Amino acid sequence: MGQKGTATRARILTATQELVETGGYFSAGLNQVIAASGAPRGSLYFHFPDGKDQLVGESIRRAGQAMGDAFADLAESSASAAEFVEGVLRHLADRLEESGWQKGCPVATVALEMAGASDPLQQACSEVYTSWAAALRARLEGRPDADDLAVTILALIEGALLLAKAHRSREPLDRVTGQLRALLR
């Protein structure tokens, strides 16, 4: 694929990611993606021959990787597991608030809407959540409960994001941060 094709594909994925994060699977219709990306209709079918689920699945993986990269940066700059988790929650809270309470978790909406109906989308959501749990687990290394604790932390973060979005308030994220700080001491 040439440079122009790579750029077009990236624009399509960026537009899809934005539409999915702010409105869910059903707001990322192919016409909306074409309009938001400025890509020709033919490019959409060329780059994503398996259709919308392929497009959304790849955008979820891409968003998940970007979030995973942010987590990795936080892990490197944190002195402890508690500091790392606080940094993750602060990053997510800032992102949510700066987006006008639109951008919580880049995976959760699709997981809730489509994981039961689409195997490819369920797999994409599962892969991202698995990678995030692994990042948390790695930071908890040495604890005998690291596997269970990583999943618990991820579930608390996801729930806090949902509540923060519903309330349009950082308070649920701040409360979970306080509880996780105490748990990780």
What is the span of the domain harbouring residue 46? 3-184
Domain tally, the chain: 1
Query: What is the spatial distance between Cα 132 and Cα 158, in angstroms, rounded to a whole number?
Result: 11
For residue 105, give Cα distances in angstroms to 94, 145, 178: 12, 25, 20
For residue 25, give Cα distances in angstroms to 2, 87, 124, 134, 148: 29, 28, 13, 26, 30
Q: What is the pLDDT of residue 4?
A: 80
Instruction: Summarize pLDDT for 101-147 with one digit per residue, the tens.
Output: 999 899 999 999 999 999 999 999 999 999 999 999 999 988 999 99
Mean pLDDT of the chain: 94
Q: What is the pLDDT of residue 1?
A: 62
CATH code for the domain in which residue 171 is found: 1.10.357.10
Instruction: Summarize pLDDT for 154-175 with one digit per residue, the tens.
Output: 999 999 999 999 999 999 999 9
Q: Report how many helices (DSSP H) and strands (DSSP E) the chain contains, helices first.
A: 9, 0
Q: What is the pLDDT of residue 185?
A: 82
